[in-house]
């Protein structure tokens, strides 16, 4: 994918000129043709005049609450000065960790890190990776970090519906599990720990940690004002509901044999130094609000928190296998913020329904009217990447005007009326990016803007002129000055305190000559390396070695003295019983949960594959589908690159047992149908996926046949339903489907499909 960046710039399918839909006219024209109409090249003046005219017309007719803006902070500044816009919100990658983590004191794990760093990973004797596959989903060197832990003696266990590439590399134990049932398995493990623990002969539970550092585990350690019966221990034992959460109880739901559940619980309880790591994937489930709480409870019960080689939490993205605060960071651009006067914000699960029905949920017992008539895609890929894509297309064909900034004819752009071609990062002056915690990267312009592509900031300022707004209010600082401010403000941590809580100093030495050469405002400063050296190398990385002062042990101070170093939760402790979490979920207005991590079946999860759960009679959609990240793409980016289409063909992964029952052979084109849509894919049969589960990689650009309503590209969100639950978490990994052999024309390999080249 790194090499394919050149195809992000010098590609035949780059959008070259502003375009308008052939059958567009003010008010929408033939709106049903969005997504399949022809395109007409226009000038930038024409494009901006059309855009300004439609914005004014919509505002005058319906008001600013009729304008929905997605992506692109640049255009948001202009729209805010124009009177505001409706926004959208959701947890996207994080799943339920985004809200649940901080509320219970566990942090969200990405910006506020909750596991230890890569050198401490080598102190772990057992590493349990629950739904983690960094070889596919975390580019760069995270898998290498885990290999070093293996060399240091760590054993690995993987809990996943798929035998992952990471598992293959590290040679760990594989425990197949049904998607969305992780919580049930963890409860079965908790039951084992409780009934088998003996402090004298078989110590499995860290009672000292539970009593000092948590609330809600048992009736004697409850948060203020909560019924003592609402404690986790009695729930697991079935004291009041009569249902012990035994491994046998869990097996029926999750598919993991009871003895395997017991085995893993014992291994975690008896091993002195364990890393319990999970990704966001198991939390991208409808009704997963209590899953992060359950996962942290498992770590708290066994005491694997806050000590060398002992950690419980997230191993994700840039923090995969190397968590901890950044040691080097960029400066700010210096551009002041602009407040959006409109406060309406719609959850991603209700976004398309809000457009179609005119209503959205703003909170508990608070349903509001809304009348979206203009969709402004300032960036991103929201139509492609949010649940309920079929409703999204319908919503795009309902409103009066849709505009997109785009580099290619993405799904957002395809279903628009007006498309504005924008530059890539490689055509702009430059910027800074963080990778892992130790490195700061600098990218710089490598080519002049191609064709008539323009920078998003230029578009925001030119549009402002036509809306009667001073463009200097939108961007009072030039792109070059912004880039310089980021460089001058870059900071690196001094190596003077353990656990990465040291002081900061300037990264770059900048001279008066540098400032004059750049033609910007600034002051000379002394730093670690010169500006010229940093720009030439393109990266600065803090040197690391075992035992240095940059190491990081998450929750170390809290574990040692929870009164002096409380967590950010309501009680200052890790909340195994969390009234605050229950209140928060209720406040969103959809569903409610208990304050303890009680099992809550996923909407469209395993249980819903049955027409009759008690008699185990399967229903119309007997298979579970989940949507893993895939090497071909970064979310949706790169899906149009022929090199990557050739290397990674994007099949539906299916177990041979399920295929045999359906008369399906390897390589057949299959129809995947569910409650929300239908899609075609070639099937790849493999024993690497457990029976009853199929996997459709995330991010393929939809190719909809309007006559049949069937997608040909295997676009995951065609099959994912926009069903709001709990805190508004999207449910990409809780989908139920049926798979059938396709008797129509077989699909050609994606690499043979024509590129979306226009004009």
- pLDDT tens sequence across 270-279: 999 999 999 9
Q: Is the pLDDT of residue 682 over 90?
A: yes
- pLDDT tens sequence across 303-319: 999 999 999 999 999 89
- pLDDT tens sequence across 371-383: 999 999 999 999 9
- pLDDT tens sequence across 516-538: 999 999 999 999 999 999 999 99
Q: Is the pLDDT of residue 14 over 80?
A: yes
Task: Give residue 612's pLDDT band: very low, low, confident or very high (50, 70, 90).
Answer: very high
Cα–Cα distance measured from residue 405 to residue 517, given in angstroms and rounded to the nearest whole number: 33
Q: Is the pLDDT of residue 468 over 80?
A: yes
Mean pLDDT of 634-642: 95
> Terminus-to-terminus CA distance in the chain, angstroms?
27
Mean pLDDT of 481-503: 87
Rounded to the nearest 5 degrees, what angle is found at the Cα of 156, between the Cα atoms of 151 and 160?
140
Cα–Cα distance measured from residue 39 to residue 20, given in angstroms and rounded to the nearest whole number: 6
State residue 140's pLDDT score. 83
Mean pLDDT of 118-122: 96
Task: Give residue 646's pLDDT band: very low, low, confident or very high (50, 70, 90).
Answer: very high
Distances (CA, A) of 216 to 211, 531, 560, 702: 9, 53, 20, 46
State residue 501's pLDDT score. 66
Q: Is the pLDDT of residue 542 over 90?
A: yes
Mean pLDDT of 676-689: 98
Count of CA atoms in the C-beta half-sphere (13 A) of 430: 19
**Global pTM?**
0.97
State residue 139's pLDDT score. 81
| Tokens describing residue 495 | 């190596």
State residue 235's pLDDT score. 98
Q: Are 371 and 386 in contact (CB under 8 A)?
A: no
* Nearest one of 493, 115, 164, 29 to 292, comparing CA atoms: 115
State residue 1's pLDDT score. 87
State residue 499's pLDDT score. 66
Count of CA atoms in the C-beta half-sphere (13 A) of 184: 25
Mean pLDDT of 42-70: 98
Rounded to the nearest 5 degrees, what angle is found at the Cα of 592, between the Cα atoms of 586 and 595?
90
For 177, counting Cβ atoms within 10 Å of its Cβ (0-12 exposed, 13-18 middle, 19+ buried), the class is buried
State residue 500's pLDDT score. 60
- pLDDT tens sequence across 716-755: 999 999 999 999 999 999 999 999 999 999 999 999 999 9
> For the residues of 487-506, what is the DSSP string, one character each?
HHT-EEE-S-SGGG---EEE
Mean pLDDT of 35-56: 98
Residues in CB range of 49: below 8 A, 6 or more apart: 466
Q: Are 347 and 88 in contact (CB under 8 A)?
A: yes
Mean of pLDDT over the chain: 97
Task: Give residue 436's pLDDT band: very low, low, confident or very high (50, 70, 90).
Answer: confident
Domains in the chain with CATH codes: 5-85+341-427+446-476 (3.40.50.740), 97-319+563-588 (3.40.228.10), 606-752 (2.40.40.20)
């Amino acid at each position: 994918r790194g090499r394919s960046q050149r195809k992000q710039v010098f590609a035949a399918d780059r959008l070259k000129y502003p375009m308008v839909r052939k059958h567009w006219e003010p008010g929408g024209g033939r709106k049903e043709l969005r997504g399949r109409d022809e395109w007409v090249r226009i000038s930038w003046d024409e494009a901006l005049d059309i855009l300004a005219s439609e914005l004014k017309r919509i505002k005058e007719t319906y008001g600013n609450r009729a304008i929905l803006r997605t992506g692109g902070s640049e255009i948001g500044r202009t729209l805010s000065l124009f009177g505001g816009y409706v926004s959208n919100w959701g947890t996207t990658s994080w799943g339920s960790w985004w809200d649940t983590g901080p509320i219970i004191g566990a942090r969200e794990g990405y910006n506020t890190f909750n596991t230890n760093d890569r050198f401490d990973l080598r102190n772990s004797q057992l590493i349990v990776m629950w739904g983690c596959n960094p070889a596919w989903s975390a580019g760069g060197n995270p898998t290498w970090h885990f290999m070093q832990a293996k060399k240091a003696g760590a054993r690995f266990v993987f809990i996943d519906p798929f035998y992952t590439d990471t598992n293959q590399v590290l040679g760990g134990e594989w425990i197949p599990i049904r998607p969305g049932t992780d919580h049930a398995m963890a409860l079965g493990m908790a039951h084992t720990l409780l009934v088998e623990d003996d402090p004298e002969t078989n110590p499995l539970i860290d009672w000292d940690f539970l009593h000092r550092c948590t609330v809600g585990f048992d009736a004697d350690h409850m948060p203020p004002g909560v019924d003592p019966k609402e404690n986790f221990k009695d729930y697991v034992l079935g004291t009041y509901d009569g249902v012990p959460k035994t491994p046998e109880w869990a097996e029926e739901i999750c598919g993991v044999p009871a003895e395997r559940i017991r085995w893993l619980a014992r291994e975690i309880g008896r091993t002195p130094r364990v890393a319990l790591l999970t990704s966001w994937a198991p939390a991208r489930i409808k009704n997963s609000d209590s899953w992060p709480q359950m996962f942290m409870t498992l770590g708290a019960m066994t005491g694997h928190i806050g000590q060398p080689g002992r950690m419980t939490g997230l191993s994700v993205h840039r923090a995969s296998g190397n968590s901890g605060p950044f040691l080097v960071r960029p400066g700010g651009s210096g551009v002041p913020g602009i407040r959006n006067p409109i406060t309406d914000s719609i959850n991603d699960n209700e976004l398309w329904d809000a457009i179609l029905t005119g209503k959205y949920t703003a909170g508990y017992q608070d349903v509001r009217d809304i009348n979206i008539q203009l969709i402004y895609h300032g960036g991103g890929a929201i139509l492609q990447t949010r649940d309920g894509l079929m409703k999204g297309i319908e919503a795009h064909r309902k409103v009066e005007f849709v505009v997109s900034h785009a580099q290619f004819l993405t799904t957002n752009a395809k279903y628009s009326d007006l498309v504005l071609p924008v530059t890539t990062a490689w055509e702009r002056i430059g910027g800074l990016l963080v990778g892992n915690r130790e490195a700061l990267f600098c990218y710089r312009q490598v080519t002049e803007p191609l064709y008539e592509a323009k920078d998003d900031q230029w578009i925001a300022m030119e549009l402002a002129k036509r809306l009667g707004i001073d463009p200097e209010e939108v961007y009072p600082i030039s792109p070059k000055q912004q880039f310089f401010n980021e460089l001058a403000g870059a900071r690196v941590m001094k190596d003077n305190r353990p656990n990465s809580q040291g002081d900061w100093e300037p990264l770059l030495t900048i001279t008066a000559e540098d400032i004059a050469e750049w033609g910007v405002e600034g002051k000379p400063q002394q730093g670690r390396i010169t500006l010229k050296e940093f720009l030439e190398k393109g990266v600065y990385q803090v040197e690391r070695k075992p035992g240095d002062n940059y190491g990081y042990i998450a929750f170390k101070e809290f574990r040692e003295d929870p009164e002096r170093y409380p967590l950010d939760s309501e009680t200052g402790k890790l909340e195994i019983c969390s009234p605050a979490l229950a209140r928060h979920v209720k406040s969103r207005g959809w569903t409610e949960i208990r304050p303890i991590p009680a099992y809550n079946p996923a909407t469209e999860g395993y249980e819903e594959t049955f027409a009759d759960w008690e008699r185990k009679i399967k229903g119309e959609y007997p298979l579970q589908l989940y949507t893993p990240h895939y090497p071909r793409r970064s979310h949706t980016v790169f899906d149009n690159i022929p090199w990557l289409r050739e290397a990674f063909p994007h099949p539906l992964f299916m177990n041979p047992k399920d295929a045999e029952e359906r008369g399906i052979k390897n390589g057949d084109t299959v129809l995947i149908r569910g409650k929300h849509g239908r899609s075609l894919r070639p099937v790849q049969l493999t024993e690497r996926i457990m029976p009853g589960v199929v996997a459709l990689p995330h991010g393929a650009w939809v190719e909809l046949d309007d006559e049949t309503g069937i997608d040909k590209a295997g676009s995951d969100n065609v099959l994912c339903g926009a069903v709001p639950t709990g805190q508004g978490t999207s449910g990409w990994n809780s989908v139920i489907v049926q798979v059938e052999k396709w008797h129509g024309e077989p699909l050609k390999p994606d690499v043979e499909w024509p590129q979306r080249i226009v004009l």
